[in-house]
Amino acid sequence: MNLTIYVDVLFLLNMIVDYIVLSSSALISGRETVKWRMLLGAAAGALYSVIIFFPQLQLLNIIIFKIIASAAIILISFKYINIYSYFKIFVTYYVINAVYGGGMYAFYHFTSLGSRMNSSNGVYYIDLPLWAVILMTFIFYYIIKIFSKISGGRAAKRQIRRLNIYFSGTHVAVNALFDTGNTLYDPISLMPVMLIEAEALKGKLSESLLRQVRENSTDELPLLHELHPELKLRVVPFKDITGNKSFVYAFKPDKITDADKNTSIERMLVGIIGTQLSADGAFNALLHSKV
């Protein structure tokens, strides 16, 4: 007996499933998500799932095109930061897909809801009721969510706070990791210093200041004071983990707010560093241990 497949239902179902799989991948890997990008990526995945059923496009079902399609879905769904973070989310996405597929097959095998497994153009699918697929998809997502919390997979993410730093009539939003290892203080004012990547301030501060930060130079400090009198720039010395002496440019912001806790952080300097803080781009600032 032939099974009728409705393209619109197949597309909608696959879009829901792909969105849940992408969301689960973000949970496990600790990636921030943007809803419209996730929806667009899920739609792309659903479209690929539909077109491979057409006999004329059977070539797209071979492994190389599946990999290309998955790579494109990840690029659409998540902001590209670097090859490390991309490969991490790519592998996570494939593992989550495999776990989801195995879970659905187990559900089919141990229940009487599905009568048989079907095949079209080499694509296997189970004739489970639509409500059962959607229900199991959401159950799968919440199992992943609970597992990620228990296993500590989101431990680092839970310590990342979204901050808004206001200065010079503008502001910048950063993801700041609460770092117990950051004990840097300004020796003059005795104020704690949080650290932020220079790249996060691009377009907000003058390029001459950011260049001095990247070059680790104080040659233009008098000029920078003239360019940014409102920042009350200062040089804060410190020793790195190897014991070498260095310094950071620091400024006094007008205000720092915590978007997650809806609170303000008082008496905090912002130090600018020229290096990247997180290999996968999960955060671009380090909070002080005092906060």
Each residue of 96-131: pLDDT tens digit?
A: 888 877 777 666 666 666 555 555 544 555 666 667
Distances (CA, A) of 248 to 124, 159, 171, 218, 251: 58, 24, 20, 10, 10
Question: Closest by alpha carbon to 104, among 61, 70, 64, 133?
Answer: 133
The CATH class of the 159-287 domain is: mainly beta
Residues 6+ apart with CB under 8 A from 10: 49, 50, 53
| Residue 112: predicted pLDDT | 64
| Residue 83: predicted pLDDT | 79
| Residue 76: predicted pLDDT | 92
Higher pLDDT: 253 or 159? It is: 253
Partners of 172 in the β-ladder: 165
Say if pTM beats, i.e. exceeds, 0.75.
no
pLDDT in tens, 206-246: 777 777 777 777 666 666 777 777 778 788 887 665 556 77
Question: Closest by alpha carbon to 104, among 13, 11, 176?
Answer: 13
CB-count burial class (<10 Å; 0-12, 13-18, 19+) for 246: exposed
Task: Return the number of other C-beta atoms located less than 10 Å from residue 106's C-beta.
Answer: 11
Domain boundaries, the chain: 7-153, 159-287
| Residue 42 pLDDT exceeds 70 | yes
Give yes or no for a contact between 47 and 10, defined as CB atoms under 8 angstroms apart. Answer: no
Please report, rounded to a whole number, the percentage of residues in the chain having pLDDT higher than 90.
Answer: 4
pLDDT band at 87; cut points 50, 70, 90? confident
Higher pLDDT: 70 or 242? It is: 70
